[in-house]
A and B are shown apart, each in its own frame.
Chain A
Amino acid sequence: MKKLLLVLASSAAAIGFATGASAQEKAKICFVYVGAKTDGGWTQAHDIGRQELETALADKIETQYLESVPEGPDAERAIERLARSGCGLIFTTSFGFMDATIKIAQKFPDVKFEHATGYKTAPNVATYNSRFYEGRYIQGQIAAKMSQKGVAGYIASFPIPEVVMGINAFVIGARSVNPDFKIKVVWANTWFDPGKEADAAKALVDQGVDILTQHTDTTAPMQVAAERGIKAFGQASDMIKAGPETQLTAIVDTWGAYYIKRTQAFLDGKWETTSSWDGLKDGILTMAPYTNMPDDVKKLAEETEAKIKSGELKPFTGPLKKQDGSEWLAAGAASDDGTLLGMNFYVEGVDDQLPK
């Protein structure tokens, strides 16, 4: 037994050295995923970005990833394993990896880290995020045009600033078209649970909403909307296949451009820590084709998208009131990023109490 192990070990070590030598010429860029890379939503969008990166810089880099890594001590081990295996730049793609990323980064000062959606940085840890709310504003406008009843349903995940920001952007967009527009919110308390998401969707439809939007990862709400004959918006990936006659548009996460940009900087030796928060104009999110709507609505959506890209329109611009009627932003004043990133209040028009 011992001898056998020894033989196995030495032959495998030989193979290991062989691949190690060829890998040295290429930089290793690594990814840590919280879900399976085929989840149809969040993680899949990151994996598509990784594949684009690999295609774009094929002669200079190779990529590796660990999928379905639970947050907590397992994440620390996974990140450390990548750092030790020779990765030069590591992208950790879930909010819950934040503290683990910071801890391991301290141990490996020569390795660069990029953490998605967090707020802690270090000399070798950058953060990156996407201005999803820009897409939500466009969705709000479409919803207000398309809804007969003036009420949309919103399936939310967790009451964190990013999600609250999305709800508010949707309402602000809708009210720019129909000042009486309202939304109802259901908190699913999960990112990924087809059963719960479908239940939330059914509950909202039963309450009389005729447009659905979601900040969760599966296509279940889209399917419910299709069954009940109402319209809906997709999330993270284009969900048109789940609702060919239902999806109006979807916010599609397109991380590839960012991954290529940062990896290029890393290869050029110009990588520096940043807190990047890109939007529609940078191509980090794109809108799926505007479908199942009349031409005038489509035209409005396209115009709004163009205005956001050019910087002419900022969704969080006054006059805006908070839910309780108190003034938030005066006419023409735009919110600063700090307020958005810590957002824990609703604007007018949300028919819900923020969970405390």
Chain B
Amino acid sequence: MRIELEKRAKVSTLFSILSPFIAFLLTIIFGGIMFALLGKNPVMALYSFFVEPLSEVWSLHELAIKAAPLILIAVGLSVCFRSNNWNIGAEGQFIMGAIAGSILPVVLYDWQSPLVLPLMMLMGMLGGALFAAIPAFLKAHMNTNEILTSLMLVYVAQLFLDWLVRGPWRNPGGMNFPETRTFAVDAILPEMIASGRTHWGFAFAIIAAVLVWFMMRYTLKGFEISVLGQSERAGRFAGFSSRRMIWFSMLLSGAFAGLAGISEVSGAIQQLRPVISPGYGFTAIIVAFLGRLNPLGIVAAGLVLALTYLGGEAAQLSIGVSEKVTRVFQGLLLFFVLSCDTLIHYRIKLVFDRLTATNSEGSR
């Protein structure tokens, strides 16, 4: 006996819409069981996980700060994934964007002007895009697998940053600690509203999501992305170039990741350190798929994932569970979302022996 997934003839529209909510409900039920097994009050645990972080203004700001890089990177990645280009190296592009954008406040720290900040943002985008250009070039002209090249370049970026902050860019007044000088006021991304720490990086993320959503839905470029992603051959008949699409999608996602990098460094950290990202570039891949590669869905997915981080901290304090529980919870959520989606498109079939398998093959 074995289990097979059989494609459904018709996908239910109702359940496509309901699926994320079912997944969320299942996560809550199984999360509650997990807390009960740990000897904690499940109601209280779920409250501190999902409600407490949303009940205070400062905490909402923290949510926005945490979600901003995830959303911005994931929106860029969605264009890549939709067009069948698998950029796994957003983490590296994030770091290179942060480095390129930091040239002004670290090397030319004396120059202070209102121009500094916009230039930093532009250089950040450029840095990310140029770093993404390497796997783009290799794929477009050498037919290299972009999953491997983009992933391996992440380590190059991480080590380059590490070398910079320990070597040439080390803060001369920092007692030999591996970090750059802190940015001057002109180089710090300001807070959006007075009530908390949310900086303009969150606005960038939302604007990017809306722009990409508009592009995908209403422009020829968006159509081109979908067509080339679904069938390269069909795209060629329509006169679209898959090579140009490699360049477009990789550069766009690189630029978004770079902008996320420099926004994070300028708005939240305000200096370069050996490690500036707790894996945003990789988590964003999850966010992109949780949001079903739809820019507006990605905004929601980014906020939900950020909420689980904040909720994990709140739960550590209020009910005393380990921070590892946060990871388990994120895992549960992702598992249920993916399995619900799978079950919408496929149905599970138990195959008992070869004979019936051939029969069903024949009857199809």
Spell out A's residues near B (CB within 8 Å): 1, 5, 8-9, 11-13, 15-16, 36, 64-68, 70-74, 76-78, 80-82, 84-85, 95-96, 99, 119, 158-161, 164, 189, 341-342, 344, 355-356
Contacts and interface: CB of A to CB of B under 8 A. Distances in A.
Contacts of A1: 21
10 contacts: A11-B43, A12-B43, A16-B318, A65-B316, A73-B66, A76-B268, A81-B314, A84-B56, A95-B177, A189-B162
Interface in B189-223: 197
A66 B51 contact: no
Label chain B's interface by main secondary structure.
Answer: helix
A64 B273 CA distance: 28
B313 A15 contact: no
Contacts of A82: 317
B316 A66 contact: yes
Contacts, number: 90
Given A72-B273, A81-B313, A160-B176, A67 B322 contact: yes
Interface in B40-84: 41, 43-44, 46-48, 51, 56, 58-59, 62, 65-66
Interface in B93-107: none
Contacts of A64: 317
Contacts of A355: 166
B310 interface: yes
Contacts of B317: 64, 66, 81-82, 85
B323 interface: yes
Contacts of B39: none
- Chain B CB count within 10 A is highest, among A16, A74, A119, A189, for A74
Contacts of A164: 176
- Chain A CB count within 10 A is highest, among B58, B66, B177, B278, for B177
Interface string B229-272: 00000000000000000000000000000000000100011000
A352 B165 CA distance: 21
B14 interface: no
Given A68-B323, A73-B268, A159 B62 contact: no
B176 A73 contact: no
A160 B175 contact: yes
Contacts of A189: 162, 166
Contact of A15 (B44, B65, B323): B44
B176 A72 contact: no
The 7 closest A-B pairs by CB, nearest first: A12-B47, A73-B268, A77-B62, A68-B323, A160-B176, A70-B278, A12-B44
A273 B81 CA distance: 54
Given A66-B316, A72-B268, A158 B43 contact: no
B43 A8 contact: yes
Given A8-B47, A78-B313, A158-B177, 8 more contacts: A9-B51, A15-B41, A16-B44, A71-B273, A72-B276, A73-B65, A73-B268, A80-B58
